[in-house]
């Protein structure tokens, strides 16, 4: 039976809860999520616990923040004017790539929108959160050449591009 190793695409159903048992995300009720194993498509702590699993396996994975979305920084959110977003609609939880004066790119997250101010933080919304994944492996297949080239899984048999 095909097991999950590098260069395989796994289709998984997952439900993610925090330590309080609140559901944060789930694939159940829609299509299973495909991901390319070994490519950093999913958080490292989950990827490592799915290694070697096969179709039909069920995995309960507890992922500490350091293997998930990182620890919380102590940096307070920074306000930027909403006008900086132009026509796009800033919403809490959305990621944003910004560039500093020297051209370095940095990933920020929108914490909240307060009137004409948008609060930004370097912390992922799930930074500092222990992630409890309830996973079922729906299928495992070889990655296609284009998936390997792109570094991510494509839906279906992996041949058509999104
Ligand atoms: Zn692609």
Give distance in angstroms: CA of 147 to centre of ligand 1: 6
Residue 82's nearest CA partner among 42, 111, 104, 114 is 114
**DSSP one-letter code for 88:** S
Task: List, in sequence order, every residue forming a beta bridge with 108; answer none if it has no partner.
Answer: 96
Give distance in angstroms: CA of 44 to centre of ligand 1: 21
Q: What's the rounded mean pLDDT across residues 146-157?
A: 92
Q: Using one digit for the tens of pLDDT, what is the confidence trace for 29-86?
A: 999 999 999 999 999 999 999 999 999 999 999 999 999 999 999 899 999 999 988 8
Give distance in angstroms: CA of 73 to centre of ligand 1: 32
Q: What are the tokens at 79? A: 């306000």
Give distance in angstroms: CA of 155 to centre of ligand 1: 9
User: Is pLDDT at 162 greater than 60 in this prediction?
Assistant: no
pLDDT of residue 105: 92
Give distance in angstroms: CA of 124 to centre of ligand 1: 24
Give distance in angstroms: CA of 78 to centre of ligand 1: 34
Q: What's the rounded mean pLDDT across residues 126-150?
A: 96
CB neighbours of residue 146 within 10 Å: 13
All residues at 6 or more sequence positions from 17 whose CB lies less than 8 Å from its CB, including other chains: 23, 24, 132, 134
Domain ranges in the chain?
A: 8-69+127-150, 78-121
User: Is pLDDT at 161 greater than 70 in this prediction?
Assistant: no
Q: What integer best gives the mean pLDDT of the chain?
A: 94
Check: CATH 3.40.630.30 for 8-69+127-150? no
pLDDT of residue 76: 92
Check: CATH 2.40.10.330 for 78-121? yes
Give distance in angstroms: CA of 116 to centre of ligand 1: 36
pLDDT of residue 99: 87
> Lowest-pLDDT range, 62-66, 98-102, 121-125, 156-160?
156-160
Is the distance from CB of 133 to CB of 47 less than 8 angstroms?
Answer: no
Q: What are the tokens at 9? A: 């695409």
Q: Using one digit for the tens of pLDDT, what is the confidence trace for 6-32?
A: 999 999 999 999 999 999 999 999 999
């Amino acid at each position: 039976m095909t097991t999950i190793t590098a260069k395989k695409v796994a289709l998984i159903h997952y439900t993610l809860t925090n330590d309080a048992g609140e559901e944060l995300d789930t694939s159940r009720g829609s299509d299973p999520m495909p991901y390319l194993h070994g490519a950093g498509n999913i958080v490292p702590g989950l990827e490592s616990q799915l290694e070697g699993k096969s179709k039909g396996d069920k995995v309960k994975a507890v992922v500490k923040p350091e293997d998930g979305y990182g620890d919380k920084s102590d940096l307070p959110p920074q306000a930027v004017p909403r006008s900086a977003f132009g026509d796009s609609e800033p919403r809490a939880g959305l990621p944003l790539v910004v560039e500093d004066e020297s051209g370095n790119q940095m990933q920020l997250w929108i914490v909240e929108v307060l009137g004409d101010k948008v609060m930004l933080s370097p912390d992922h919304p799930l930074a500092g959160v222990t992630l409890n994944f309830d996973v079922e492996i729906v299928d495992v297949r070889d990655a296609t050449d284009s998936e390997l080239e792109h570094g991510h899984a494509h839906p279906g048999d992996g041949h058509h591009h999104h």
